[in-house]
């Protein structure tokens, strides 16, 4: 299988940190989205959604969603488990993943893509163009603050985002929190638990992936 990847943007980093935690190396090809390489026919025929990461399996099937890639790799390489050890742990991880995705990752994306001039007409990922909506950019910024607060409340009661073990919820939350840096939104003073957690997970070697 082959991973279409690029250092810098947040989504592919979720897969790279996940791979580093598993101790895995995959065949990779860089798709430089800063140079709009995702629009080249060579890549757009592989992933018509024009997004990275994308994982092409040996069968030819292409997975275009980070979480689908992560779950597939978890099945193939179960050690160490990153989605939890029991049905209940896995359910808690899945529940948190959606909160991180919708309230965190998508809130930052809402802010970034609706306010940074470079994303003009690219307010959503994918093959179609959407105009920026100024109010939506502002709403995104507001939501980032709530995401930090909510994560801080979770981390007041547990070491990691989905309990007392490091999981894929920590991988994706770290990437979402760091992604907020693109909007110059740093962890606020009133979120000490989030700060403690962020220092800890950022110190893992995988965070450099």
Positions that interact with its own copies (CB under 8 A): 57, 59, 61, 63-65, 67-69, 71-72, 75-76, 87-88, 90-92, 94-95, 98-99, 103, 126, 128, 130, 133, 135-136, 139, 146
- Least separation in angstroms between residue 101's CB and its own copies is 9
- Ranges of beta strands (E only) in the chain are 2-5, 27-30, 54-56, 62-63
Select 84 or 206, whichever has its Cβ closest to its own copies.
84
- Least separation in angstroms between residue 35's CB and its own copies is 26
Half-sphere exposure in the Cβ direction for 57 (13 Å, CA): 10
Select 95 or 190, whichever has its Cβ closest to its own copies.
95
- Least separation in angstroms between residue 13's CB and its own copies is 17
End-to-end CA, the chain: 19
Measured CA to CA, the distance from residue 187 to residue 177 in angstroms comes to 8
- Least separation in angstroms between residue 6's CB and its own copies is 20
Select 45 or 59, whichever has its Cβ closest to its own copies.
59
- Residues 49, 126: contact at Cβ < 8 Å? yes
Measured CA to CA, the distance from residue 55 to residue 143 in angstroms comes to 31
């Amino acid at each position: 299988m082959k991973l279409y990847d690029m250092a810098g943007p947040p989504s592919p980093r979720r897969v790279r940190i996940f791979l580093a935690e598993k101790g895995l190396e995959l065949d990779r090809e860089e798709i430089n989205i800063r140079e709009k390489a995702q629009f080249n026919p060579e890549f757009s025929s592989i992933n018509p959604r024009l997004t990275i990461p994308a994982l092409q399996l040996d069968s030819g099937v292409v997975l275009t969603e980070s979480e689908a890639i992560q779950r597939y790799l978890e099945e193939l390489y179960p050690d160490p488990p990153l989605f939890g050890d029991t049905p209940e742990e896995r359910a808690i991880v899945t529940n948190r993943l959606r909160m991180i995705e919708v309230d965190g990752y998508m809130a930052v994306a809402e802010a970034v893509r609706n306010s940074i001039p470079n994303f003009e007409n690219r307010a959503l990922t994918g093959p179609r163009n959407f105009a920026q909506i100024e109010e939506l950019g502002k709403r995104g910024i507001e939501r980032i603050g709530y995401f930090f607060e909510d994560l801080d409340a979770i981390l007041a009661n547990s070491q990691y985002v989905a309990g007392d073990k490091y999981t894929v919820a920590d991988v994706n939350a770290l990437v979402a929190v760091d992604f907020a840096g693109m909007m110059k939104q740093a962890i606020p003073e009133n979120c000490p638990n989030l700060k403690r957690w962020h220092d800890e997970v950022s110190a893992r070697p995988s965070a450099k992936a």
